[in-house]
Chains A and B, each alone.
Chain A
Amino acid sequence: MSEHDEVVLAAQGITKRFGGVKALDEAHLEVRAGQVTAVMGENGAGKSTLMKVLAGVYQDYEGRILRNGREAVFANPRQAQEHGVTIIHQELNLIPNLSVAENLFLGREFLDGLGLIDFRRMRREAAALLQRLDLDVDPRTRISTLRVGQQQILEIARALALHARVIIMDEPTSAISEREVDVLFGLIDSLRREGVAIVYISHKMDEVFRIADRITIMRDGRTVGSAPRAALSHDGVVRMMVGRDLKDFFVQTPTARGSEVLRVQEICLPHPDRVGDFLVKDISFSVARGEVLGLFGLMGAGRSELFETIFGLHARTASGQVFLEGREVRLSSCAEAIAAGLALVPEDRKRQGLMMDMSVAASISLASLAQVERFGFLSDRRERALAGDFGQRLRIRAVSHRQPVKHLSGGNQQKVVLAKWLATRPRVLLLDEPTRGIDVNAKNQIYRLIHELATAGLAIVVVSSELPEIIALAHRIIVLSEGRQTAEFSRAQATEESILKAALPRSLSSSRPPSSSGAATR
């Protein structure tokens, strides 16, 4: 076992090209045992690429990797795992049709005397791991029925099952709730005490300053700085990331509240499996022109399902009424919702937002192809103009508009999804976790963009599980818990405490106060 603070994994002078593009340019990184090394940088700075080099995903790079001081070459991720290096990727990598237990031990199934899979033992071990992670799911559950947040925690469980000595976490908290973050941080703490080295990538400044021992900053494929946390300030980190001073942080301005645009009444969505149970129960709200309404709720509160229902995705099972500018509309498909002027930026960009093989331009224009047609045929020129326009407004970083979206960094993929929906020129914008995986600088720009859109007359509903984000953005906040509306606050009344209190499920807030978490008290 390695001593604490010893460098157990190091990258030296790593250069990695994709075709003609240099994603990494002599980047370096040192990872110490018993420490959390945070890596920060703008979208597309090369963080994920460097991690993939370290974890054996890419082999064609220049430079050296040292594991415990000795040069190591990983021919594939499995070899890296055998050297104790495991990565939790930014995009989830679970197999949807297999059970939780099967996923946890994929490739390393326990066998019984006959060489058959010992499901009993797998389930037992899985249950133990899940308990350690405070995740309340049956090991037999199929992955596809879990929410993103739960899946993220499972990815971490998988790394634990591998007994890794170096765990790389690429934006592990971008999809999980505050409570789950606390669970995760508790876990990171205990791993750290056991001498495990953790590499932690995140765009969330407060998280990084809470958990990291050291912070390494990357820009344009290079390592531009690395220092103990205590030696760095928020502003200092941002300055190194961006390469200049970041001015005018977003501050909310009250906008003139116009006439009502969208009103929903008594939206209900029955649970697909449990009869008599609801994912969304009797939700009513309205949004006005120029208003940003925030919907806050923990994972599983029914926020995404509410959006999907309004957007016509569950027309067959859901009930309730939707009014647009005072007139009732029946939205029985997404196409009708789009035609009526609604746009939904979904929560999970890989599953619901993008075709990974499509080009940036084609992805942006997909929901508004009629706009780029001339004489009934798609016009390349118009499509390029559309993509260029939104690409610039959102500062999408791509080599060209013909690059497939799967080659973009995670944050830039998110911007493409946003661009796609803005391109439909909606009246009502439903945003489900719109800044997931987006760097501080770009986040700031997106906040400003949201307010610009509101000022221009859009009605906007934002779902977020980040409290500071909701408070920064929304003029009014509605809190959901277990599919029901539990509170409503105006901007002036809202505090983090009061919102969180309303968001905690009743079963939980009465029987198990979240003492393990700092969330409610912070």
Chain B
Amino acid sequence: MTLVILTGGIDLSVGSILALSGAIMAGLLKRGTELEALNLYIGYGAPAAIVVGLLVGASLGWFNGLMVTRFRVPPFIATLAMLTIARGLTKLYTGGEAITGLGQVFVSIGSGRLLGIPNQFWIAAGIVLVAVVLLRKTRFGRYVYAVGGNEEAATLSGLNVARVKRSVYVIAGTLAAVGGLIVTSRLNSATPIAGEGMELDSIAAVVIGGTSLSGGRGSVAGTVLGALIIGVLNSGLVIMGVDPFWQQVIKGCVILVAVVIDRLNYKE
């Protein structure tokens, strides 16, 4: 999400893509693919199901990117449409029911531990590391900042602006699918409402982390901090037994305060 916002875009569809790819992984594991016409049944092991799920996430992201670049649909609209589409597909695919009982191998990914630390953490840390290096140390990362900073100047500098934009949506889609993998395997079930509201949390994390919504300025480190703040808030308020309705109000206020502080600093 940080990458998308750095280019001056936004991706509202990550929560839905998370749900759909999670559901597809679960569905393939449970039911396989039946092609009645060919009288063919394909069963899936965990690795194959995961790969297909990630591919689904990537292609939906690619589709977002295509809409934004080729057809010049504003990112907000394109991904808002995808939010609904992917959510609808998830419900169709699952028939509105949770898919549970996914097998030992698959479940161990989300709930297992390595060196006593949950796998989830390793996966997240790995992704953060790759993202930091990508943004700070590669040409692609520099181009992401450049496109968000000034598209016309980026074009004149010989950048393929459309390709950079498409890439960030593909990355966002794929990572949403990774999220789907983690959530589904940890809960040992894929529910059609997984990841609802997730897009807002992730945008909030990016913004709290100091990334500018108009693009060109921000960092992954900031987003990690933002995500931690959101995470601590989400669980902290529950643990403290705060009224769930108040939780939302408090979360909103924290977002505002963080962004205002950032603005004041930035003006200096």
Contact = CB atoms under 8 A, between A and B. Distances in A.
Contacts of A333: 158, 160
A267 interface: no
Interface in A319-341: 333-335, 337-339
A366 B150 CA distance: 12
Interface in A172-193: none
Interface string B125-168: 00000000100111101100110111011111111100000000
Interface string B193-217: 0000000000000000000100011
A200 interface: no
A377 B146 contact: no
A362 interface: yes
Contact of B149 (A338, A358, A369): A358
Contacts of B159: 335
Contact of B139 (A351, A354, A373, A420): A373
Interface in B98-140: 133, 136-139
A358 B212 CA distance: 13
A334 B153 contact: no
Nearest to B157: A367
A313 interface: yes
A355 B139 contact: no
B150 A355 contact: yes
Interface in A399-430: 420
A107 interface: no
A366 B142 CA distance: 8
A283 B59 CA distance: 46
A122 B192 CA distance: 55
Nearest to A60: B268
Among A337, A354, A358, A376, chain B packs the most CB atoms within 10 A around the CB of: A358
Nearest to A345: B156
Nearest to A334: B158
A370 interface: yes
A105 to B, nearest CB: 26
Contacts of A362: 142, 145
Given A354-B153, A356-B149, A377 B138 contact: yes
A311 interface: yes
Contact of A366 (B138, B146, B212, B216): B146
B158 A367 contact: yes
B216 A335 contact: no
A353 B139 CA distance: 19
Among B133, B137, B150, B157, chain A packs the most CB atoms within 10 A around the CB of: B157
B153 A351 contact: yes
Given A355-B146, A356-B149, A357-B149, A370 B157 contact: no
B149 A378 contact: no
Contacts of B150: 351, 354-356
B217 A357 contact: yes
Contact of A377 (B137, B145, B160): B137
Contacts of B152: 351-352
B160 A335 contact: yes
A338 B138 CA distance: 20
Interface of A: 19, 311, 313, 333-335, 337-339, 344, 346, 351-358, 362, 366-367, 369-370, 373, 376-378, 420
10 contacts: A333-B158, A335-B160, A344-B156, A351-B150, A352-B153, A353-B156, A355-B146, A362-B142, A369-B139, A378-B138
Interface of B: 133, 136-139, 141-142, 145-146, 148-150, 152-160, 212, 216-217, 268
Give 9 closest A-B pairs by Cβ, nearest first.
A355-B149, A335-B158, A338-B158, A367-B157, A377-B137, A357-B217, A355-B150, A369-B139, A334-B158
Given A358-B149, A366-B142, 16 more contacts: A333-B158, A334-B155, A337-B158, A346-B156, A351-B150, A353-B153, A353-B156, A357-B149, A358-B146, A362-B145, A367-B157, A369-B139, A378-B136, A378-B138, A378-B141, A420-B157
